[in-house]
Structure 1
């Protein structure tokens, strides 16, 4: 968390909390999977509901190796904790992925809230020029 609203609420990561991410982008969900880039971005808790954790997120997936080295695609969408599989919109890209469009189907494969660790498996369908 990099910022939170100036209101008293439960849980502490509730409505209006802003989070930054800079995570490894790998081929598979295993922690030992081959690193191909970085997933960097922001997400904000966007629901006042204390049961359902809803976020609006922006993430840029930047390739640092392989065929798409130096290119990236961007995701900007809403996500709800009620969904077993989150469908998120791909809204652009740069380099070889310029003008990318598509969608990402993400599911959580591992969670450790005490250590703030989550592993997401992202299955991306991407169209680009």
Structure 2
């Protein structure tokens, strides 16, 4: 009787060991390439009004005043991304996401942004950016939390600041400096 109890246990252990070996071998054959660091500067062009507005408010404050630091104000954005700060600079993609005034006193805005590249070099690659920043700070810092394509498994940080603002035209340009590691 004792031997019949040991035989299934031994078989079960051998099957588990074999399965574990297969899983370990299959994971070790996945090649992510080499971890590399990339630094890039992008320019985000923001048009707040007009027929080609790239940023729109999607929530209405109770007093109808659209001030960016009012708690609960949310904006959707789909802005052109270029290599230089001029509007006619070479386009490299779109910055798509949301900005939310997330602090009751207006001291922080939450940023969730996807930079979607459409150049030949980075076609279809994305960077996912997220974080909170004080809207009155000149330079804000957020996290690079992920990426796809050329920036798979990206992690790092991005700083951004407004480098040009035309109040009459409701147009601004933000410079984003991104430092990240990726495969």
Alignment of 1:18-37 (within 5 A): 18-37=74-93
Alignment of 1:7-86 (within 5 A): 7-8=62-63, 12-13=67-68, 14-49=70-105, 52=107, 54-86=108-140
1:122 is the counterpart of 2:176: yes
Unaligned 5+ runs, structure 2: 1-56
Structure 1 Cα separation of the partners of residues 158 and 78 of structure 2: 18
1:50-69: CA deviation from partner (whole Å, max 9, x where unpaired) = 6x5x3101110011013211
CA shift for structure 1 position 20: 0.4
Pairwise CA RMSD:
1.9
Extract structure 1 runs of 4+ deviating beyond 4 A.
9-13
Higher radius of gyration, 1 or 2: 2
- Select the structure that is richer in helix: 2
Structure 2 Cα separation of the partners of residues 35 and 43 of structure 1: 22
Question: Given the two structures, how large is their TM-score scaled by the length of structure 1?
Answer: 0.86
- Larger RCO (alpha carbons 8 Å, 6+ apart): 2
- Select the structure that is richer in strand: 1
The aligned length equals: 126
Alignment of 1:90-109 (within 5 A): 90-109=144-163
1:78-118: CA deviation from partner (whole Å, max 9, x where unpaired) = 12123221111101111221111011111111123454322
Structure 1 Cα separation of the partners of residues 151 and 138 of structure 2: 28
Structure 1 Cα separation of the partners of residues 100 and 79 of structure 2: 17
Structure 2 Cα separation of the partners of residues 11 and 96 of structure 1: 38
